[in-house]
Structure 1
Amino acid sequence: MFRRHRRWLQAPFFDKASIAQYLPVQTREAHVLLSNLLVDPDSFVKHVRRFSGATMLETLYGHSVISSDDEYLRLIDTTIEGTTAASAPGAALVDFIPILKYTPTWLPGGGWKRHTLEGRAALQETHVKTYALAEMHANNGKLSVVGSLIKEYSDKGEIGSLLPEIMHLGSSTYNAGTDTTKCVLHSFILAMVLHPEAYKKAQDEMDRVVGHDRLPTLEDRDSLPYLECIQKETYRWLCPVPLSLPHASSEDDEYRGYFIPKGTTVIPNLWLMCRDPKDYPSPDDFLPERFSALTAEEVERIDPRNIVFGHGRRICPGRRFADISPEMP
């Protein structure tokens, strides 16, 4: 199942030709974000939320968001907030005393169980509604990731057995895609507020390369090296996912005198990797210049994008798509 899900996501989110099909959606939503920031800059949190949610909603389900109060945007975000709060490690006593999972919901202290059941019901409602949304747009010929899967397996007559997996894939991908994008953009805004000298350098570069008569496009990216350095430093300075997904050691190993048996669960500390002073001197400082004037070998070795998207078989399959999203504005 895991390999199948990776394959479903690899094609639309990693293949360059597939990513290009969704680029107009990212570009349009980036322009909407810029417009909203100009009109109401104090509500930047709301605008960033709309940008990330609208981009993923249309990419995954084919649904175009018209307003920040969009029904589906509100439905998915509310569901994710509830389920995340209920399932956070250590959020309930049952995480420390597993036998409590057998207690009835009406017992004192059983609120966690009621919240979990409510979250499950909300998640199922979201699965059903977003699946129907993707199916409707797919039947109307609109491109989307989930819609393409529905059409492919419906044509093969295999949709029945795979329907729950496709539903789950959509919601989990939406959660992963919106959360990290919001985090990176919030970090970027914070960095620019705290470091106006970096902001001025980036603005001067943008004015020099792009001018004042148009908005930048991805074609300008190679001509904006300082802005590229800012993006890398934003990834490094406030790593969007501090801890990577759990991995398992494939063989017996030893690290700093500690024996690690084969099959041990290993959780990489991405935050610490991004603040290793050997690779990033003065790691607490926001210094985009650290990524300039480097050799090709140095660029590859210290590029934080080799860290923040995870490693190995569980590396983020949408890392190319994600790397474009924060760059668009």
Structure 2
Amino acid sequence: MRANLPKVALALVMTCCATSAFAWWDGGHMQIAYVAYKKLDAPVKEKVDALLKLNKDYAKWTASAPDERTAKRNAFVHAATWADDIKTKEYNYTRDKVDGPAAGQNIGYSDRNQHAYWHYKDINYSPDGTPLPAPDAIDLVTQLKLMIAALPPSSGATDDVRSYDLVWILHLVGDAHQPLHGIARYTRQIPNGDAGGNTEQVIPANGDVMALHAYWDSLFCGYISVAGAVFDADERDGLAGAAVSEAMAQISDPQAWIEESAELAKQYAYAAPVSLGANPVLLTRDYETNARNIARSQAALAAARLARLLNDALK
């Protein structure tokens, strides 16, 4: 999630149907994690469970599970939301800045910063020649590469760091596949950039006015339970049944994932009727159909790549 959700929009998200095919707020991240968990090798499942137990939220993640097997699955699925959870007042984490001294650190759970800028990498883009700023030095790609390298037991990192990195990896792999987490658009009407679609306003079929980025983040619905995410993923047209190209699943470079997302954003997220400015536009049926299809295929790809990443790092 790139930006905090306005209260009105949050209330609307909370009313969406649990069986709809939606993306990347809690519901999307948990579905991606659940599908990835089903693809993990048995020994890897045991290793991720041991690492997740080091997170202070483990008891909360497993509280409602009827048995140990379900508890382990629930912890993995719920852990995928932790990097967003720490933005809430309950955690009292600091909203730090990308140019601060702690921006690129990897020190484990002693880090009490939110690191909101770890959730995306902006490939700056202008369709009309508007000047572009220099990219940030720290972003999703720099941190995800750092964490992936630390995850194997042979890395020399402490279990505390590896646990912290695991929960971030579960989240960031999903973020990397949301098209608007890979781009920022600059136009004459928006010369300071749109922060990945947070400036443009759109009106989907239900009549709500919301940021373009929030629309794409909401395409797997909002703040549902683990049980709800599992149900949605397993239903007839759910994420668990989505086909994924094996060749695409084997692409392991986070920079390549971001470049794919940026291209999809150009082709679909910024497609007509989205304009070059910030005025609200009514989305067409074709736009919304394409958005749902891209969300489903990207989330399925994220799940496959996440499973492959963990099986390779923890085998």
TM-score by length of 2: 0.32
Q: Kindly indicate which of the two structures has a greater share of residues assigned to helix.
A: 1
Compare CA radii of gyration and give the structure with the larger one: 1
TM-score by length of 1: 0.31
